[in-house]
Structure formats: C-alpha cells, structure tokens
Chains A and B, each alone.
Chain A
C-alpha cells in the first residue's frame, strides 16, 4: 500500500490543490503548510504549464501568476524538497513539462547534429526520478489519457510512485476498465464535464460516476466544482472516499493577492502589509480547509449510518 492509499484508510480524505508559486514561492509554501494544518490528507501541488487546457479561469489565473513569478520545474522540485508537511504530496501538471524535463541538453545536442530531429533524451523518466528524490508520491496529468501513458506509468513503477488517472462522466465500459487497470494511489473522479472551477451545487453526475466505480477497491476522490463543507459532505455521503478541492482555495489566494497589490499601490509601506496579508490568506485557507474536512467527515458518518 502506498502513502496515498494509506491517506484514505482511516476515513474520508480531504485533498486540496494549490498552484505552487502563486502568487510567489514563499507565500505559496506558507499556504501549503496552512492546508496541512487544516487537515489535508493529501496535497496536490500544481506545477504550472503555459497551456492549461483542463483548467477554468480561476486556476488559469493562478498559473499566470505563478509563471510570471518565475516558477519552473527545477524551482518546483527544489521547493518541494524543503517543504515539511505531514500530508503526502502529489504533483499535478501537464505532459509536456514531464516529457521535457532533463531532456534539454540531449535535445540541443541532437539539434546541432541533425537540425532538430525528435529528441532521444526526452521522456518522463528524469522528471519522475527527481520527483521521487524530493518526496513526491504521485502524479495527476490531465492531458495524458491512458492510451499515451505507457512511458510515464513505467517510470512511476520504477521509482515506486503512483499515477492517478482522471475518470470523467463520459468514461464508460472498456475505457473505464483500461484506466482502472493503470491507475494507482487513488482515482480522480471528475464530478462534471468541463474544466476546473468552484460551483455552488453538487453535480448530479457524481452518484452515477461513483456507482460505475463501485466494483474497484481503489479510493475514489471526487473533484471539479466542490467549494464548501456542505458539498464535501454530500459527495462523501454519495460514496466518495475523498474530496478534491482546488478553485475554491485558489480563489482565496487570488483575493489575497489583489488585496495585497492594492495596498502596495496605495502608497502604504509595503513589507508589513504584504507580510500580514500572507498570514491572513493562510488563516483563511486553513479555515476553509477545516470546514471541508469536517464536511467530508460528516458525510462519512451519514454514509455509515445509512449502511447500518
């Protein structure tokens, strides 16, 4: 059993997401610690890619903030290496970053030789090796369907990491079988069609998606649109083993960021205000984290009582 499986072993898991480096590296590390204090069982850390096709406006903006703050895969791994939190960490990113890592030297060499042919040095292995070194337990790669995931799955097996696949409301039959054969750690149940983003209600597709996954033992974590403790409760009561929450948390970071920049542009002495703001944002994140975790636990109690 991996650390990710274990995180789901004693009750429903709360799995928050933040983009690392949003709005800057130091603050975002502080925010991750706040989520850990708030009861996170697993933390998904976003490594920003310039073309995040699966993300809604909230996380797109986070990606822009992080990239303009200078985030790179190398800085991401260096930062994770220093991060001391209890919750196991999962890296969420897009395949081109996984594929290019560590391949650039090989690539420019082959370019010189042949004028830019496909780079033999590129591939997911160096990325996975470095991730394992800094203590990452698994990956979510939203633009990598099971069909193209062979090399990454292999590298994950080699270094003992989990590869978490997303199951969509449109995933049925053979596709579902194929994905469930390849996924490990947990399965990411996409609650609704579309892109990431906080929603006020729980998707009615959630129950049906969970039913389709019933015969597999792997933990089922539901994400896409969950923003409140009440929603977390409903989702867990419907049979989820965990809830994944991203945009609702990123919204708090975004609000804090715009507040901080207003303060800065208002000619107030900067350092203090911004410092306070990071703490205030971290407090708000911790508060919402506790609410979401409580909601998940309440949902589990209800699910339990309905079963008995």
Chain B
C-alpha cells in the first residue's frame, strides 16, 4: 500500500480518523506518482517554480567572523533568502502544486509562528488556489506581521481558541476541517509530522536544502563538512538540512531543540516549559504519528514552551525521533536566554538577523565543543528574523542578555 515505508523503526504510521484514511491513501499514491516518478513532469515544474518564484538555489555563505570565533570553517545555508524569508516555501510550494495535480480545489494549513502559513498563502496565491490558515489565537498576537502577510496574499486566517492557542491546537483544528472537507481539500501540513506519507513527503520537498548544501560545500571547499547544525521544532528544516547527509557517516548531525526556561515537566500543571521532545520526550501517538512527545504519565499531551513560536510544539517528526534513537542525529538544547544571545550575535557579527528558531542553532555553537563542530560546519539559517523583532525587543528588555543593544534610542528627548 505504501510508496515508501510508512514507518521509521517503530515510529510514524497513520493514526487518524477513518474519514481521513482514503484521502491519505490517495495522497500516498499521488506522492509516489508525481513526486517520486515525476509523472506529468511534476518534479520539473516544481524545480522551475522553486527557482523562478522561490529564488533557489540559496547561497552557502562562509561566515568569516563566526569561523574565527569558533576556530572552524563555518558556513551558513541561507534559507532566510528564500522567498518569504524561510525554508517553509520549499514544502508549501511542493504541496500546493501537488494538490493542483491531484485536482483538489482548496487548501487548508496550520501555522505556529506564521512562517508556514505565509509560505502556504504565497504558494496558493501564486498557483491560484483558495487557502485557509488555522492559527492559535496566542500566536496570532505574537506574530502580527505574518498574519498581515497571509491576509495580503488573500488567505483566510481562522483563529484557534482551544487550549493555549498555539501550534498543537492549530494542527488539531486543521485536521478537523480536513475531516469535513476531505473530498475537495488538501491539507498542507507544515512540518515532517502527521500521518504517513506527510513526514516522508515533507522531508523530500525540504531535502533541496541539503542537496544544494552538499554540492555547494563540495564546490567551495571540497568534500563533506564535519557537522551540520539545524534547529528542531517539528523538524522540517532539520530533516531538510540533514537528509542528504544521513548516509555520510562522517558528517555529524546536531538537532538543536528549544530548552525554553527549564527541561523539566510539571505534571501538576500539565506544562513542559520547553519544546525539547527529542531530548526529553517519550514515545507516544499524536497528530497521526507515533513519535517522541512531551506528555504526562497518563499520556495527556502537555503544553510546550519556547520563546520561539516556530519551535513551540510538543511533538517532533517521527523520522527524527528514529534517527535520534539510532544514534545518527544528536539532539541538544539551547534555552530561551541563550537563544536570544544567539539572535543578537548573528545580527552583530554577520549582519544577518535570524529567526528566533534559527537563533537556537546559532546559539548552540557557543556551547559546542571543538570536537563536536569539527573543522567545518554547516549551519542551516532556516529563516530571517523580521517577524520576531517585536518579541525579541520585548523579551530582551525583560531579561539580562549581555550582548543585546540598548533601545534607549526610543526614549530620547525630542518633544
């Protein structure tokens, strides 16, 4: 029945309501035909649109000052330069195009930080498909610029008010919409999560990151990097940055998770003040897949936390969970304060304002040993930080972040 295996070890699978199963089988079949076998020239059109609309390939840029700081050859894979300002378009464009090939008339998607929502809204406008985005109410307030962008591209934005109003609730609500409209609608899931074939398909659309980075590194330096570093929430930029290196045993892969304010789980409150499901989670079933989760001892999903909306999720892609168990990917964590420092460091040393998600990957370089980094490192700059400016200024003001610029410029004496 499956195009690829539907499982990664014990992880993955298809834990969804029966009403969705025929659609998932249909999607599996379409994925196999169009994406894997290039039926009707799907892959050619996808690549062409990624280039002309998306601006691929994105550069692999040597970061001179950070290379000096960490005494290694450090390269940045600049997904922040992809249209929309994040890696999310790779997947959104692929799935919206696939939906068109499948004859679907409508797109729904969830979004956390708003990056996947904006990418999907852009792709849907570009390909002329009606689009509705579900977004937690709390995230809507944290990410206003992205809400405007989605609306400007003509997407409807539906606030989700259940639970804490973040990504987890938005995914549940989008699945409910899909269960109602499945015959005409495609659900563009935003990460390597959900039921098979989503984790595999999203990974394949995002693999363009490592496909390019591998080639670019070989062209610029020769050979392979010693390590690849990417932040991990659901894990789509992570799998995208890792996938073409997974079989290169000499390349170490580091998935940097949000350590939030603490790595503990508060069972009483049902809260984990972090989003580190690879580092601290346990196996369970959420949103269609068996994977590593932040859950209490009964199996209730706990509320995650991160200063970065895009990492704020209690689950993670099943393939990443598997690669961690296999010892192929090393999960590490960076807490909120360190991530903010990383944000300012990349802004100041390289002139790149990163997304708060990316800031976690940057921040980890500070904690890593020189053995871990090796002689050459590729860091995936998953997105740019424009969307985060408001929250960074707010969060920086309420903490002791030594390398943050002061914002006294706003309280000057002009009257």
- A interface, CB within 8 angstroms of B: 49-56, 60, 64, 67, 72-74, 94-97, 99-101, 104, 107, 111, 116-119, 122, 142-148, 165-172, 175, 179, 190, 193-195
Contact = CB atoms under 8 A, between A and B. Distances in A.
A140 to B, nearest CB: 11
A50 B18 contact: no
B300 A67 contact: yes
B179 A54 contact: yes
Given A118-B10, A168-B18, A171-B21, A53 B287 contact: yes
A48 B181 CA distance: 25
B295 A53 contact: no
Interface in B248-298: 270, 279-288, 292-293, 295, 297-298
B279 to A, nearest CB: 8
A72 B182 contact: no
Given A53-B176, A116-B280, A193 B181 contact: yes
A55 B285 CA distance: 17
Nearest to B173: A53
Given A147-B13, A179-B18, 18 more contacts: A52-B172, A53-B17, A53-B172, A54-B176, A73-B298, A96-B293, A100-B297, A100-B299, A111-B282, A119-B283, A148-B14, A168-B19, A168-B22, A171-B18, A171-B19, A171-B22, A190-B19, A193-B179
Contacts of A175: 21-22, 25
Contact of A145 (B15, B172, B182): B15
12 contacts: A53-B17, A53-B287, A55-B176, A64-B162, A99-B285, A116-B279, A117-B325, A145-B17, A145-B18, A147-B13, A148-B14, A167-B18
Contacts of B17: 53-54, 142-143, 145, 166, 168
A102 to B, nearest CB: 10
Contacts of B287: 51, 53
B144 to A, nearest CB: 26
B18 A166 contact: yes
B175 to A, nearest CB: 5
A145 B299 contact: no
B253 to A, nearest CB: 17
Nearest to A64: B162
A190 B180 CA distance: 12
Nearest to A74: B298
B284 A99 contact: yes
Contacts of B21: 145, 147, 168, 170-171, 175
A195 to B, nearest CB: 5
A107 B282 contact: yes
B331 to A, nearest CB: 9
A82 B280 CA distance: 37
B275 to A, nearest CB: 15
Contacts of A55: 176
A79 to B, nearest CB: 15
B168 interface: yes
B340 interface: no
B23 interface: yes
B19 A72 contact: no
A118 B298 contact: no
A53 B286 CA distance: 10
Contacts of B282: 107, 111, 116, 119
